[in-house]
Amino acid sequence: MSVAVTIESIEKRFDAFAALRGVSLDIQPAELVALLGPSGSGKTTLLRLIAGLEQADQGRVLFGETDMRDLSLRDRRIGFVFQHYALFRTMTVGENVAFGLKSRPRAQRPEPAEIRKRVGDLLELVQLPGLDKRYPSQLSGGQRQRVALARALAIEPRVLLLDEPFGALDAKVRKDLRAWLRDLHRRTGHTTVFVTHDQEEALELADRVAILNDGRIEQVGSADDVYDHPATPFVCEFLGEVNKLPVKVVGSQAFFGDRPVLGGLSQNQGGQAALYVRPQHLRIVDDLPLALPGVVEHLRRNGPLRRAEVAVQGLAKRLDVDLASQVAPAIGERIRLRITHGSLFAAA
Amino acid sequence: MAAATSVWRQPSILPGFGIALGITLSALSLIVLVPLVALALKAASAGPADIWAVTTSPRTLAALRLSFLGALFAACINAVFGMILAWVLVRYDFPGRRFIDAAVDLPFALPTAVAGIALAAIYAPNGWVGSLLAPYGIKIAYTPLGVMVALIFVGLPFVVRTVQPVLQEMQADVEEAAALLGAGRWRTIFTVILPPIYPALLTGFVLAFARAVGEYGSVIFIAGNVPMVSEIAPLLIVIRLEQFDYAGAAVVAMLMLLISFGLILFVNLIQARARRRFGDV
Ligand SMILES: Nc1ncnc2c1ncn2[C@@H]1O[C@H](COP(=O)(O)OP(=O)(O)OP(=O)(O)O)[C@@H](O)[C@H]1O
Ligand SMILES: [Mg+2]
């Protein structure tokens, strides 16, 4: 049913502007892949290219073994959910969902009764039973989103492409729909690519995350991979908050000034580097080696965590440190910080 | 009844309903209703026998038929071609697009007499188009066909200008969605693209129709104005006025008014129903 999608060195320009510059990506059958990147990085363009709504200047897209260009739009059987839903507003919800089935050539078209039954099942699946007589203008944003999804699922797609499926919704609804989509994917097993600029969403939902920046894929990997072992400074910064320390690598140790701050490095090239450390990877410790002294200058709340801003001599920007709930330093207190995990990048 | 009173008391949370309604009604009465009442009184002054005579006279009936059927025909043609023209202007970029876009408004801007003279010159048997058609025995100027040509000319901008913004606003992604769902081109056009446009198209149709019914200046130059054949109702009114038959003119005018009002009311009802269903989005 679902099919592997292979994207081979795609290039796409709009006039002089290069929107995609050599993008390659292998997507396994039934895999759920997130395309993550800042606004304007080319996510929508890539998704539209996979669907064949846009022509690539270079490279190709394969569905299984077939070049996508050899298939008609109908034969590609792509379920596409648009960023702004693109529901047919003069049709009821039921007619929207039935549209794909009714568009089939007469020989393959199911009986009206069969279509009605399938529409009912699909609306059940997206948890909107009984709304088939409504018009899209009579639905909430989240409901429209799910109708768009039901409409895309109706054609039994081989590939499901979602463009910022939860973009227009509030945080709570996004979270609910996220869990729901994850569950739906587990049950239906469509090869799925979804676009988002919300890193949390991508990390939580996807089997693998592809991070796009400026028309290039910076890294592809599982959530743990990309989060804990970012391949580039961009990925590291884009996936979450991070402190930057200029360090010098000598042997297996990184030095901030003349103080060793991180050991056990396997990095073979020494010299100047930038050490990227997430707030949760800084721990307040008692006097021990590999510790960085600093002064707590500010305390604030960041969601469920408390966060300290720690001034370190020789560093212009204060370090953000996530605090375990039991330790609560006072403002002005002198503390020592241990870096438990960090990513080293050659200094720019 | 209770519901109706509450609707009256609090029609909307938007302020100023009372004063706005007051101004609207006064303006409407002064500008529209008072002259219409005067017209009705004038027509009534003719007395029942004369009214009946004017109403049933073959010349009046022929003129009314030409005016309304001609306007209907012209509005239909305009609906189709105006729609296509609007589509081309919105969806395609080609050299001269801006020029054509601007030219659409010419029938609005041109004094109607100028349009009439120009059309008559082109479609006359010795004009550019007329001379091409003459060998086949097709005559346009000075026949009912000429009336249609003039009515189509003056009505075109209405359809284009009402449909254009709706098309412009319609996102291309709806069409793409239809194509990915497997719909062919024709199915997409008739089930996805056209239905949202119908209300605007209907509005354009009504405007083009109304304009065509009342059109005078451009028609009389090309129509030839043969009684019973190519004489339009507005011209008949003018002729009656010139014969100082004010009551007779008022009767014809009143007939036009009633028919027009009935038709426009009918169309508005259709439109209101469509709007209730799909919302105004
Ligand atoms: N039809 C077009 N013509 C010209 N430039 C375009 C076109 N479509 C996209 N672009 C450009 O290509 C780049 C990538 O656009 P794209 O829509 O793929 O971004 P995106 O990653 O989806 O961003 P967002 O998160 O804001 O939706 C942008 O800089 C955009 O301006
Ligand atoms: Mg986008």
Name the strand (E) or helix (H) holding A116. Answer: helix A112-125
What pLDDT score does B145 carry? Answer: 86
A17 lines ligand 1 (CB under 6 A): yes
Name the strand (E) or helix (H) holding B225. Answer: none
Nearest residue CA, atom 16 of ligand 1?
Answer: A42
List residues of A whose CB lies inside 8 A of any B CB: 51, 53, 73-74, 76, 78-80, 82-84, 86-91, 99-100, 103-104, 135, 137-138, 151-152, 154-155
Q: Which of B170, B174, B176, B180 to mutate to test the interface with A (most CBs of A within 10 A)?
A: B180
Q: Are the CB atoms for A233 and A276 separated by under 8 Å?
A: yes
List residues of B whose CB lies inside 8 A of any A CB: 171, 173-174, 176-184, 187, 191-192, 195-196, 277-279, 281
Strand partners, A343: A276
Whole-angstrom Cα distance, residue A195 to residue A17?
21
Put simply, the answer to whether B177 touches A86 (Cβ < 8 Å) is yes
Strand partners, A196: A36
A55 lines ligand 1 (CB under 6 A): no
The nearest alpha carbon in chain B to A51 belongs to: B180
How confident is the model over A150-175, as pLDDT tens digits? 999 899 888 999 998 887 677 777 88
Which ligand lies nearest the alpha carbon of A19? 1
How confident is the model over A216-265, as pLDDT tens digits? 999 999 999 999 899 999 999 999 889 999 988 888 888 888 888 888 77
Whole-angstrom Cα distance, residue A209 to residue A194?
10
C-alpha dist (Å) from residue B24 to A238, B34, B35: 58, 14, 16
DSSP string, B128-195: HHHHHHGGGT---TTSHHHHHHHHHHHHHHHHHHHHHHHHHHS-HHHHHHHHHTT--HHHIIIIIISG
How confident is the model over A174-203, as pLDDT tens digits? 888 788 888 888 888 889 999 998 888 899
Whole-angstrom Cα distance, residue A91 to residue A83?
19
- Over its C-alpha atoms, chain A yields an Rg (Å, rounded) of 25
Q: What are phi and psi of A192, to 5 degrees?
A: -130, 135
Which token pair is A53?
């709504």
What is the residue-level pLDDT of chain B in tens, covering all 281 positions? 444 444 555 556 677 778 888 888 888 888 888 888 888 888 888 888 888 888 888 888 888 888 999 999 999 999 999 999 999 998 888 888 889 989 888 888 888 888 888 888 888 888 888 788 878 878 877 788 888 888 999 899 999 999 999 988 887 889 899 999 998 889 998 999 888 888 889 889 988 998 899 888 888 888 877 788 788 888 888 888 888 888 888 888 888 989 988 988 888 888 787 777 665 44
Put simply, the answer to whether A82 touches B191 (Cβ < 8 Å) is no
Q: What is the arithmetic mean of pLDDT over A314-321? A: 88
DSSP string, B36-102: HHHHHHHHHTT-HHHHHHHHH-HHHHHHHHHHHHHHHHHHHHHHHHHHHHHHHHHH---TTHHHHHH
Residue A156, sorted as left (phi over 0), alpha (psi -120 to 50) or beta, turns out to be left
Nearest residue CA, atom 25 of ligand 1?
Answer: A39
How confident is the model over A62-92, as pLDDT tens digits? 998 888 888 888 888 899 999 888 999 889 9
Taking the CA atoms of B89, B93, B94 and B100 in sequence, report the sign of the dihedral they define. Answer: positive
> Band of the pLDDT at A326, cuts 50, 70, 90?
low
Angle, in degrees to the nearest 10, between helices B58-91 and B233-242: 130
Put simply, the answer to whether A137 touches B174 (Cβ < 8 Å) is no
Put simply, the answer to whether A100 touches B184 (Cβ < 8 Å) is no
Q: CA A78, A83, A89: angle at the middle one, nearest 5?
A: 85
Nearest residue CA, atom 17 of ligand 1?
Answer: A44
Query: B193: distance to nearest CA of chain A, Å?
Result: 9
Block residue for tokens 């499926």: A165
What pLDDT score does A231 carry? Answer: 92
ipTM exceeding cut-off 0.90 for this assembly: no
A23 lines ligand 1 (CB under 6 A): no
Q: Which of B169, B171, B181 to mutate to test the interface with A (most CBs of A within 10 A)?
A: B181
Whole-angstrom Cα distance, residue A172 to residue A85?
19
DSSP letter assigned to residue A221: E
- Judged by DSSP in three states, B15 sits in coil
Q: How far apart are the CA of A144 and the centre of ligand 2, in A?
A: 18
Global pTM? Answer: 0.78
Q: Are the CB atoms for A326 and A339 separated by under 8 Å?
A: no
**Entry field: residues in chain B:** 281
Cα of first residue to Cα of last residue in chain B, in angstroms, is 31
A40 lines ligand 1 (CB under 6 A): yes
